[in-house]
Amino acid sequence: MFRTAKMQKFRAIFPKKTYDSVIAGLHEAGVVQLKEISEIDAERKALGEEAHELSSILSKFREMEEFVRSQPSRPTAMKQLTLAQTMKLAKQSLKKLEPKITGLKKKSEELVKKRQNMLAQIETLEKFRGIGVPLRYLHSTDRVKVFVGRVAAEKTEEFFGEAKEATFQRIFTWSTGTGRENIVILAFRAEDHQKLSPLLYRYEVEQLEIPQLHESPEEAIDKMKRKLALLEKQWDDLRKSVKKLARSYAGEISRIRELLEIQYERVQGSTLFGYTDATTIIEGWVPRRSMKKLERLLNSTSRGRYVLRVYEPQRDEAEEVPIELENPPVVEDFEYVTKMYALPKYDEIDPTPVMSFTFPLFFAIALSDAGYGIVLGLFMASGVWLAKIFPKKLRRMMIVCAGFTVIVGILIGGWFGFGGGMWVNPIQQPIPLLKLVIFIGILHLMLAIGLTGVLKDLVRRDWKNVLFNRVSRMLILIGFFGLSFCVLGIGLHEFGINFTFPKMDLFAVFNPLIPGDVTVSIFRILFYLGLTIGIIGSMVKGKGISGKIGGPINVIYGITGLISDVTSYSRLLALGIATGIIAFSINFIIGFAWEGMMPTDLTPLSAIYATVLLIAFGFIFVAAHSFNIFINSLGGFIHTMRLHFAEFFGKFYEGGGEEFSPFKAKRKFTKVKGGERPGR
């Protein structure tokens, strides 16, 4: 924990004649991440015609698989194949299957195109449905212009009046429609078209293109629908043919596609290697725990003829080293949040272990209802389809958060808005919870600065930063807020601690010359010692006059940042109270409505009415609380994530690491027979 998996860089040299066996072994084992070799003198290989042919055939098999749709099946045991053997198998299968699938695919495309055209024609004809005459009568001639369009219903009569006036009554007008728009037909002399154009524009008349059909719109639509029904029958027959083909060949297509993808990955990997006349050179990264496995694999696949050199990463390689997080099972689930921000660099600290406790704690305070925690946990653990839309790690993480919510809800919340916490009811007494979240915020920042931040600097051996930055800020944080609590004179009696910070005036408490209580003196020493160390450190590390003057100012100004960070944790109080108030309001409204609507006399009719009422209010109760759980769980998750990303990570975390991506064959439809090497 706290450190990512130890990585080692390796270089392996083996004979060219064992190339297929070694690369296949590495690919199946999936223990290394390959990198481009650093050897300058070694020959490199570019992708050739063979790779382009492989890519072309792979594309065809992907298209065929998409068309027939892969069928779930058990992996088929196959011997390890070389590239040449895989290509031969693929070409034979392609020769057999391509004509069959191409014919069905072509027919499918034709039917889809015809169906789309018919639906488009029906949609167009629907605009003319109210016209009872054959459409052939609505086409213009050299002397008579026929215009068909659509205009707002309330403007139709006015439009017709002006059209008749503009053409001196030499126009035929007709309209139909029952909605907000009417279909209008105008027939007029061709030479009057210029007179009507301004009116068409002013009344926003939309011209409709008349289909080149002889029937009336109603008859044409019926005819199209009959053709469409016939087309649907052809489509059903085609789908049966595709399903029949899929039952026979879908497995074969998926297997060969998978084999081709595996070979293509190996061909792409070959461009990273170096070559001499007789040997192949490869480089990469391997987790230290897998080094023995790599040695055994190289020994068996090269028949003992290999050279392996292993190197520890250098400090200047920290950004190149691939990252693999290494955490216990429960902590591992919270890697989901870490990866949402960024993976740590190799010389950084993994924040996931700390976050595996603080994240569910903050979420629990934000949700703060034991009943809600139980419902959320059961939902995430249930496996219903709605829960399965969330990633598996997120579901498991939320189950942990729900468990924390039950515990915290018992202490500070209630059960679905009923009752109050065993420790405190924040709706009635918010101050104890406010104190708690402020203390939690200070502890959280202390973890960021004093634990994870210090560990990171120790890994990097940055001793100056430990002293002048981490230690300084820790002392300032403790000292400043300790003195601030003295100004407020707050007590810790709500936490079972018989202690009250000695109350002093604001200016007096920060004045080292004014005598004060022992507690005040300790906090003053911590605060001013931290300030002194920070100012000295900024002057030592500052470059130039601006750095040596601006550095101390930044140290003092940084106190405002700490105040902002700590007060930001008060959002947990706001979220917790909001959840409780909404839950209480739901119960109050339902209870008030129940009392007002419930019959006072018990009769058979009133019993039926009360039963219906009970079911209705029960549904409202479940629906309302479900919505409250959803919206406040979402809010709690977002704000908890924000506290970690901004306040916590901002104190020590850089991120930017690249995830370890092993060179590994992805097999779903095939599996390799044990102990076989390519070419055997």
Whole-number pLDDT of residue 405: 93
Residues 615 and 481 in one domain: yes
Residues 613 and 491 in one domain: yes
**Between residues 215 and 445, the one the model is more confident about:** 445
Residues 38 and 185 in one domain: no
Whole-number pLDDT of residue 9: 93
Q: Does pLDDT of 269 surpass 60?
A: yes
Residues 387 and 478 in one domain: yes
pLDDT in tens, 370-406: 999 999 999 988 878 888 888 888 999 999 999 999 9
According to DSSP, the β-strands at 171-176 and 76-78 are: unpaired
Instruction: Tell me the residue length of the chain.
Output: 680
Task: Grade residue 310 by pLDDT with cuts at 50, 70 and 90.
Answer: very high
Structural domain includes residue 676:
no
Whole-number pLDDT of residue 674: 64
If DSSP codes are grouped into helix, strand and coil, which group holds residue 181? strand
Task: Grade residue 217 by pLDDT with cuts at 50, 70 and 90.
Answer: confident
Query: Is the backbone of residue 675 left (phi > 0), alpha (psi -120 to 50) or beta?
Result: left
If DSSP codes are grouped into helix, strand and coil, which group holds residue 15? strand
Task: Grade residue 334 by pLDDT with cuts at 50, 70 and 90.
Answer: very high
Whole-number pLDDT of residue 679: 42
Backbone angles phi, psi at 447, to 5 degrees: -65, -40
pLDDT in tens, 518-565: 888 898 889 899 888 888 887 877 677 776 777 778 888 888 888 888
Lowest mean per-residue pLDDT among 173-177, 313-317, 573-577, 631-635: 173-177
Residues 306 and 358 in one domain: no
Lowest mean per-residue pLDDT among 362-366, 506-510, 577-581, 604-608: 604-608
Chain position carrying tokens 């994530």: 641
* Secondary structure string (H, E, C) spanning 285-313: EEEHHHHHHHHHHHHHHCCCCCEEEEECC
Question: Is pTM, for the whole model, over 0.75?
Answer: yes
Rg (the chain; Cα; Å): 38
Whole-number pLDDT of residue 645: 92
Whole-number pLDDT of residue 680: 38
Residues 173 and 300 in one domain: no
Q: Does pLDDT of 47 surpass 90?
A: no
Residues 403 and 498 in one domain: yes
Residues 423 and 308 in one domain: no
Domain boundary among 194, 209, 224: 209
Calculate mean pLDDT across residues 82-94.
90
Residues 491 and 608 in one domain: yes
pLDDT in tens, 20-34: 899 999 999 999 999
Q: How much of the chain exceeds pLDDT 70, in percent?
A: 98
- Exposure string of 323-356, with b = 16+ CB inside 10 Å and e = fewer, is bbbbbeeebbbbbbbbeeebbbbbbbbbbbebbb
Structural domain includes residue 357:
yes
* Domain count across the chain: 3
Whole-number pLDDT of residue 32: 93
Structural domain includes residue 600:
yes
Structural domain includes residue 123:
no
| Domain of 416, in residue numbers | 329-651
Structural domain includes residue 678:
no
**Between residues 680 and 577, the one the model is more confident about:** 577
Residues 451 and 568 in one domain: yes
Residues 259 and 192 in one domain: no
Domain boundary among 317, 348, 382: 317
Structural domain includes residue 105:
no
Whole-number pLDDT of residue 338: 92
Whole-number pLDDT of residue 309: 93
Structural domain includes residue 110:
no
Structural domain includes residue 14:
yes
| DSSP structural state of residue 78 | E
Q: How much of the chain exceeds pLDDT 90, in percent?
A: 26
CATH code assigned at 156 = 3.30.70.2750
Calculate mean pLDDT across residues 434-444.
92
Residues 313 and 351 in one domain: no
Task: Compute the CA torsion angle 484, 489, 490, 493 (nearest 10 deg).
Answer: 140
pLDDT in tens, 282-292: 999 999 999 99
